[in-house]
Structures are given as C-alpha cells and as structure tokens.
Amino acid sequence: MNGNLFALFESRARPAATFLETPSGERWTYADLLATTGRYANALRAAGVAPGDRVAAQVEKSPEAFCVYLGALRLGAVYLPLNTAYPPAELEYFLGDARPALLLCAPEDHARKAPLAKAAGVRACLTLDGAGRGSFADLAAGQPAAFETAARAPDDLAAILYTSGTTGRQKGAMLTHGNLASNGEALTRLWGFGPEDRLLHALPIFHAHGLFIAAHCALLSGSAMLFVNRFSAAEVLALLPRATVMMGVPTFYTRLLELPGLDAAACRGVRLFVSGSAPLLAETAAEFRERSGHAVLERYGMTEAVVITSNPLRGERRPGSVGLPVDGVEVRVADVADVPLAPGEVGGVQIRGSAVMKGYWQNPEKTAEDLTADGWFRTGDLGVLGRDGYLTLVGRAKDLVITGGFNVYPKEVELAIDALPGVAESAVVGLPHHDFGEAVTAAVVRRDPTLEAPAILAALRERLAAYKVPKEIHFVDELPRNAMGKVLKTALRQALATRGTAGGARRHGSTLS
C-alpha cells in the first residue's frame, strides 16, 4: 500500500463533487484537482525536482498555490511553505538551511529573490501570482494531467515547516506522510467531517493551521472548501450562510464580533466553529456564544505535532481547557526531571505518538535536546491534566509570544534590536492584546539618547516579518535582573503593562522609570 499522503486523498476524491469554490464564483471539482496536481507534479519534475527534494514556496494564497503543495506530495517531494511576510534576509536563511531544488515566488519578487536562490544552490526559481499566473503556471500548462502518484513510505518526509527557536534561529520541523495522515484522519473523525460539509477556509496556507489542519479534513472527507484568499470579517460573515464549518484563530472571532450582522441567523447553517493557534479569551468565547448561539471548539496544537488535544464535538467544551488528546497522540505532564505528575499538578506538557514530527531538519542536537530519555517530546508549554483527561494550559516555559496565531520567540526580535546602532540592550515580551491575543512589546536601553522608536521600527521592518515587529517600544534606563544577571521577564511584563497600551495597535516610544 502506498504511504503517500496524496494517495490517501486520491482514494477519497469524488471526481464530480465540488472540491473548492472561491468568492468570485470559481468552482473546482475533485476531477479538476486531480488533473491540476498531475500537471503540477509533471511541471515540478520538468523543473528538475526529484522525490525527496525540497520545494520552497513563498507565494500568495490561491487554489493554484494550494495545488502546488499537493503536486509536490504527489511527486514525492518535500514541501516547504514560507510566510509571505518574510523579508529577503529571512528567506536567505531558509534557502541556505533547507537547500530546496526549487523556489516559487511572486513574479514581482523574482528579480531580487532569484539571486538569493542561486547563491543558495537552488536549481530553479519560478513564479506564481495570486491569480495562479506565472512562469510555473506556464510550464504546467504544457504538461499532461496524468501522473502516477509516487510511492512513499509513511516515514518519508512530506513537509518541513520552520518554527521559531529560543536561540533566534528557526528550526525546520520534519513532518512525514504518516504524521500528517494520522493527525488528519483523527481530526476528520473527531470533528465529524462528511461529504456534505462546506469548510470556510480563510486561513493562510504557509502555516500548519490552514495547510494541514483545515484543508486535510476536507480532502479526507471528500467535502468542499469555500476558499478565501485572505481573511476579511465582512467577506467571511457574508459567506457564513453557505458554510457548515469554520476554522480560525482568535483574531477572526474578535473581528467578526465587531460586525453588527453577526447573530444566530447568520450562523444558522454552521455546525462547528473551531479556534486554534492561540488561546481564545474567555470574554471572546462568551460573547461569541451569546451572539451566534455557538460554543467555539478550542483545540491545542503546534507545528511539531499539528493538533495535540481538542475539546469534543459532542460533550463538554470546557472553557479555558484545550480538551482531550486526539487519536495518535499521548499527553502527560511531568516535572523538570521528566517524572510524570499526578492529575491536578502543574508541569511541562510532553507528547508522543504517530502524529509527532520525525525531528528537526539537519539539527539532531536540538531534536535530542527536546526528547526525554523515554521518547517523549517536550512541548515547552506548562499545563495541568484533570482526572478526566482534560488538559489546561497555564503558561509557556519557552517564553513564546503568540500574536494573531503566529509564533514569535523574543530572542529573535531581541537580536535584531540589539544589532541596531544606538541600542545598548533590549528585552521582548508579550502583553495582552484584544485583537491579536498578545502584542510583541520591546523594552530598549539606549546607548544613543536621541534614538527614537520610529527609527527602530523602520529598521526592524527591513529585517523581520511584520508580525514579529513590536507593536510598542518602551525606553528604559535598565532591565530588571536577578542576582545571576538574568532578565526578569515577569517583572518587566508587569512594569510594561502598567505603562503600556498593548490593547491598542499603536507603536510608540515611552520611558519607564
């Protein structure tokens, strides 16, 4: 039996059924999907991509871009999605680390990205725009639609997704065909997906949430997607009457709640709302339930294991809890010595199972560091397991900031700030934010007293993806430290919260005494 994930999708496809619809009225059937991915797999091969090679894509969301991912799977290549917000400096790192055979980028970016690709040893740099046009589309147009899906073992790599690291260097989580098949099948069953469902898909597809969690449930159930290129609260509200399921990040729900048209009538056809990638504030969940009549289902996941736990479709969706382990994942809470703790005790969340990644790309040391002696993966999150198996998260041991559903490690931002002229040192924390969940917030000690926040922010926008750039910059005389010289992030967070305005979106400079 072929362990290729695409072979599993292929086995569930109903050729005449709708696979995807766009707000403009474009309709793709599953027959269209099979033909397009066949041409794309042939085009990738014609561009010099072989099974096991990496295919990097930094392109806007479109049905065609999603089919590049599926075509890469079908060929047996390893897909590497890249956030479109990554500037050239970050792209250069990913290309040098992953060494893809092909980079796909927007046509308007080709002139500046092709030299980076060439310098990294990438054999080809082709283009695809948000309308599905470009040199890759031209190449694919001349290819046959027939393609025999490559044979892959469940342990073969399907994708590499980069996730931020505490050292400031992002790590490539290696996800296999077996990892993704196990998790996808578990979620399709758990959330009750069937052929009649219509998934409202407004998530980006460079992230596990949109690329795997949402889309795989549709593909494995042979159901349809309402495919929106980017989230717009007004557009999503208008599409809700046609949907049966919507998946989103907390920001989606806060922005929908800003619209007067969100009510039970608008949501009458929806059977399930799911939220993930960041904690859903209790007040947001309560207001959404009051307005829509639906209790949002919260789940917990991470790039290294996709979805780990979920509140049930039928049963108690416990506020503040991320639910029960999904099939294919075991969860325990352990102390600093990796000794499992009794229910009710707070400790580090650890996982193992068929959905957990193979390891970090070309980084066996980091892989080993995050594994216990008995093979459990340390997530870096702190939590407590109830006697009934429900998991509640209470904090993050790795100081991660989750803003708008995206992970930001403070160290990466601190390194970028500290490298700027006029900066002595900095510390970055997350502060509560109504819209984004958390706002990246920086405290900066100046070497040059004339340095102002706008100059720092302008420089950071050239070096970091936009979601990593601080919402606020506060100038301080010194950073709070313990006797060992370590910055006291808790004390800093409290001090900034009393002076800052992270509930808003403005970026400014202020001085803390």
Closest by CA to 501, choosing from 463, 461, 472, 460, is 472
Instruction: State how far the Cα of 166 lies from the Cα of 172, in Å rounded to an integer.
Output: 13
The predicted model scores a pTM of: 0.85
* Of 1-5, 236-240, 449-453, 494-498, the least confident: 494-498
pLDDT, tens digit, 9 for 90 and up, residues 343-391: 999 899 999 999 999 999 999 999 999 999 999 999 999 899 999 999 9
pLDDT at 91: 95
Neighbours of 84 (CB within 10 A): 18
Instruction: Give the SS3 label for residue 70.
Output: helix
User: What helix, strand, coil percent values describe the chain, rounded to 5?
Assistant: 30, 25, 40
Please give the average per-residue pLDDT across 481-507, as a whole number.
69
Q: Is the pLDDT of residue 40 over 90?
A: yes
d(CA 393, CA 44): 42
Q: Which of 2.40.10.500, 3.40.50.12780, 3.30.379.10, 3.30.300.20 would CATH assign to domain 5-16+29-176?
A: 3.40.50.12780
Label residue 394 by pLDDT band (50, 70, 90).
Answer: confident
Q: Residue 19: which of 73, 70, 76 has the closest Cα?
A: 70
Q: Write out pLDDT tens, residues 408-460.
A: 878 789 889 989 999 988 999 999 998 898 999 999 999 999 999 999 999 99
Q: Helix axis angle, 63-75 relative to 5-12, nearest 10°?
A: 120
User: Does domain 401-512 match CATH 3.30.870.10?
Assistant: no
Beta-bridge partners for 334: 340, 348
C-alpha torsion sign, points 306, 312, 313, 319? negative
Lowest-pLDDT choice from 234-243, 327-336, 356-365, 400-409: 400-409
Residue 504: pLDDT band by 50, 70, 90 thresholds?
Answer: very low
| pLDDT at residue 415, rounded to an integer | 84
Dist CA 365 CA 370 (whole Å): 9
**Structure confidence at residue 513 (pLDDT):** 29
* pLDDT per residue as tens digits for the range 163-215: 865 455 789 999 999 999 999 999 999 999 999 999 999 999 999 999 999 99
Q: Taking the alpha carbons of 257, 259, 261, 267 in that order, is the dihedral positive or negative?
A: negative
- Contacts of residue 406, Cβ cutoff 8 Å, sequence gap at least 6: 83, 207, 277, 467
pLDDT at 508: 40
For the chain, which residues make up each domain, given as ranges?
5-16+29-176, 401-512
